[in-house]
């Protein structure tokens, strides 16, 4: 039996849909068909519009069409004054907020696609005049539109496939595990993100890890060194497998020369400093690895810097490999 997926968009840029279309296949529609995933409706991929689209929504609400997964991309816009009228669904006199509440009550599973749908994300930046929030979180606080105690008919809370944007593999793997019934609440972390990607750190698999180990840091965007100390990189704090499950099988933010901004976490959009800078206290970065005591990190960093090989130190502040690893003879006769 195919998995019926309804995909709606609210306050956001559509970037998660754009990312999904970059899934590692030349035939996106064929991939969904092979996974037995049926898109009831998607704002960019479906032909239905107007009354046809409204019929699909009403069929789901009335039980004439089975709604297995409701996906939301973009934040819920609750303003003004919690009326939701900043985002009305065209052709109806009802807000998207209302439709989401109703459809969530009949869906077997509810999935927040992207950090906007999960926590509010970019849409909730600053004064948040639109009262944007996630489906079950408002930044790191449980609640959101549906409330902290919400459970879909299948028994799970909102599954937060967080990211800005999401990796296409995170979305398709989530849908597949929901389709085969293998996802349990234990498979979600404390923020209800699927653990198959959230149990990793962006730091894992980073091509700059040798520079990190010796605290050989980049000082400008083109440098090869570790970007944590000076360039704002939060890869040691960010829960995602970006450097293991590469984007388009080839890259990641860090491999493209950009620091990790921790986009899978609540509140990433308002770090209190520019994304390309590392705030420090007494010369020590404030954002240290989440699973290491600060005193240990400072001691290890000092020791590492004193032992940094000349090759690593010189390469870290260059835009290309200046000194390659030296080949040493083993002393053995061939």
23-67 pLDDT, tens digit per residue, is 878 788 888 888 899 999 999 999 999 999 999 999 999 999 999
Lowest model confidence (mean pLDDT) among 23-37, 56-70, 206-220, 234-248: 23-37
Q: Is the pLDDT of residue 197 over 90?
A: yes
Give the whole-angstrom CA distance, residue 69 versus residue 110: 6
User: What percent of the chain has pLDDT above 70?
Assistant: 96
* pLDDT tens digits along 256-278: 999 999 999 999 999 888 898 88
The pLDDT of residue 332: 60
* pLDDT tens digits along 155-172: 999 999 999 999 999 999
Query: What domains does the chain contain, in order, with CATH numbers?
Result: 3-198 (3.40.50.700), 200-321 (4.10.480.10)
Nearest to 234 by CA among 211, 215, 262, 255: 262
156 Cβ partners below 8 Å, 6+ apart? 109, 110, 183, 184, 185, 188
The pLDDT of residue 334: 46
Give the whole-angstrom CA distance, residue 205 versus residue 243: 5
Please compute the mean of the pLDDT values over residues 282-288 and round it to a whole number.
72
Neighbours of 119 (CB within 10 A): 31
Q: Is the pLDDT of residue 246 over 60?
A: yes
Please compute the mean of the pLDDT values over residues 308-323 and round it to a whole number.
91
Cβ atoms of 11 and 123 within 8 Å: the answer is yes
pTM of the predicted model as reported, rounded to 2 decimal places: 0.91
Q: 110 or 327: whose pLDDT is higher?
A: 110
Long-range own/partner contacts, residues 43-51 (CB < 8 A, 24 or more apart): 43/7, 43/8, 43/9, 43/17, 44/14, 44/17, 45/17, 50/90, 50/91, 51/91
Give the whole-angstrom CA distance, residue 165 versus residue 13: 10
Bridge partners for 4 per DSSP: 38
Nearest to 76 by CA among 34, 128, 4: 128
* pLDDT tens digits along 73-104: 999 999 999 999 999 999 999 999 999 999 99
The pLDDT of residue 175: 96
Q: How far are the Cα atoms of 87, 130, 169 from residue 72, in angstroms, in the given order?
A: 14, 17, 17
For residue 298, the surrounding DSSP H or E stretch is helix 294-306
From the number of C-beta atoms within 10 Å of its C-beta (0-12, 13-18, 19+), residue 24 rates as: middle
**Average pLDDT of the chain, as a whole number:** 92
Q: Is the pLDDT of residue 22 over 60?
A: yes
* pLDDT tens digits along 104-155: 999 999 999 999 999 999 999 999 999 999 999 999 999 999 999 999 999 9
The pLDDT of residue 330: 60
Give the whole-angstrom CA distance, residue 226 versus residue 233: 8
The pLDDT of residue 317: 93
Please compute the mean of the pLDDT values over residues 8-30 and round it to a whole number.
89
Nearest to 294 by CA among 280, 284, 305: 284
User: What percent of the chain has pLDDT above 90?
Assistant: 76
């Amino acid at each position: 039996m195919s998995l019926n997926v309804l995909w709606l968009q609210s306050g956001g840029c559509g970037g998660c849909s754009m990312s999904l279309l970059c899934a590692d296949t030349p035939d996106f529609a064929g991939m969904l068909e092979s996974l037995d995933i049926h898109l009831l409706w998607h704002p960019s991929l479906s032909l239905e519009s107007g009354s046809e689209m409204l019929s699909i929504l009403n069929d789901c609400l009335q039980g004439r069409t089975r709604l297995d997964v409701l996906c939301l991309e973009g934040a819920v816009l609750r303003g003004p004054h919690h009326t939701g009228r900043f985002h009305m669904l065209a052709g109806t006199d009802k807000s998207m907020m209302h439709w989401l509440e109703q459809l969530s009550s009949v869906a077997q599973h509810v999935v927040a696609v992207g950090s906007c749908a999960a926590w509010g994300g970019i849409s909730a930046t600053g004064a948040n005049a639109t009262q944007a929030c996630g489906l079950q979180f408002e930044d790191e606080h449980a609640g959101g539109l549906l409330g902290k105690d919400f459970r879909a008919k299948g028994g799970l809370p909102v599954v937060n496939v967080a990211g800005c944007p999401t990796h296409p593999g995170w979305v398709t793997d989530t849908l597949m595990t929901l389709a085969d019934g293998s996802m349990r609440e234990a498979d979600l972390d404390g923020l209800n993100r699927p653990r198959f990607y959230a149990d990793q750190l962006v730091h894992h698999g980073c091509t700059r890890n040798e520079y990190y180990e010796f605290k050989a840091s980049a000082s400008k965007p083109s440098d090869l060194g570790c970007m944590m100390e000076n360039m704002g990189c939060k890869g040691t704090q960010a829960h995602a497998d970006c450097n293991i499950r590469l984007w388009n099988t080839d890259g990641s933010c860090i491999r493209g020369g950009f620091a990790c901004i921790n986009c899978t976490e609540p509140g990433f959009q308002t770090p209190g400093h520019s994304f390309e800078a590392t705030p420090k206290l007494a010369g020590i970065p404030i954002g240290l690895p989440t699973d290491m005591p600060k005193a240990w990190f400072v001691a290890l960093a000092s020791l590492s810097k004193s032992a940094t090989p000349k090759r690593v130190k010189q390469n870290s502040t260059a835009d290309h490999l200046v000194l390659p690893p030296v080949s040493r003879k083993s002393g053995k006769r061939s």
